[in-house]
Amino acid sequence: MNDVVDASPPEAATPQPGEDNPPPGGNDGTPPGGPPLPSPRRLRSLIIGLVIAAILAVLLFVVLRPSNSPRGASNPGIGVGATAPDFTLPRLGGGQPVHLDALGVDRHKAVILNFFASWCGPCQAETPMLAKAAAAAEASGTPVQFVGVDVNDPSAAALAFVHQTGVTYPVGADRTLKVTSVDYALNGQPDSFFIDASGHVIGTKLGALNAAELQQWIKRLTGGGS
């Protein structure tokens, strides 16, 4: 007698109570056609991390951005009591280089050192006043030497500026910004340093001087005021 072969497909196993149907896709639970999705907990951690990074970036920007406060309220890189860094710069217009110590301590003279540029708006008002004060000091024999440092300025523009404003005192051309930015740690113009005959800084002014301030500093440098 021939055996009867049952060719019907096997029945799928019926899930027993307490058993979950297998998820679609792979046996490891991956969605069909893609990588596994992050869990809600991991997604929350990623979002929190991004928010913290954004806050830190904003704080860093606020700390490092240039200040909008008046420059006179800041401190220069060279403070009161420090020895004024010596320098030698090519003289604007040619001639002997501008050597700070040779103009000041070597001649036992106090120095008013001014950093300026022709493109600087406040300098355009301040420089003619400095030029007049320097000429008056020289005419009266006052032992104060004015020295200028022209900052990152095209030579033609700088020469035209000093001629127009009446500057006759020595002006060094700081084309590389080494003296301005590195030695004196300045980031804007105009700036002035008041240096006694021993080469020590007795005062600074970040921003434009007015006539009363300038006269007061001349008196202090010559022993006529406090």
Query: Using one digit for the tens of pLDDT, what is the confidence trace for 137-161?
Result: 999 999 999 999 999 999 999 999 9
What stretches of the chain adopt beta strand conformation (E)? Answer: 88-89, 98-99, 110-116, 144-151, 171-174, 191-195, 201-206
pLDDT category of residue 219 using cuts at 50, 70 and 90: very high
pLDDT at residue number 147: 98
pLDDT at residue number 41: 75
Query: Using one digit for the tens of pLDDT, what is the confidence trace for 42-79?
Result: 777 778 878 787 776 644 443 333 333 333 334 456 88
Rounded CA separation 200/220 (Å): 13
Residues 29-37 have a mean pLDDT of 55
Please list, in sequence order, all residues whose beta carbon lies within 8 angstroms of the beta carbon of residue 37, skipping any fewer than 6 positions away. 31
Both tokens of residue 158? 């700088």
Query: Using one digit for the tens of pLDDT, what is the confidence trace for 11-23?
Result: 544 445 544 554 5
Look up the pTM and report it.
Answer: 0.67
Query: Using one digit for the tens of pLDDT, what is the confidence trace for 177-196?
Result: 999 999 999 998 999 999 99
Query: What domains can you pick out in the chain, each with its CATH number?
Result: 99-149+159-221 (3.40.30.10)
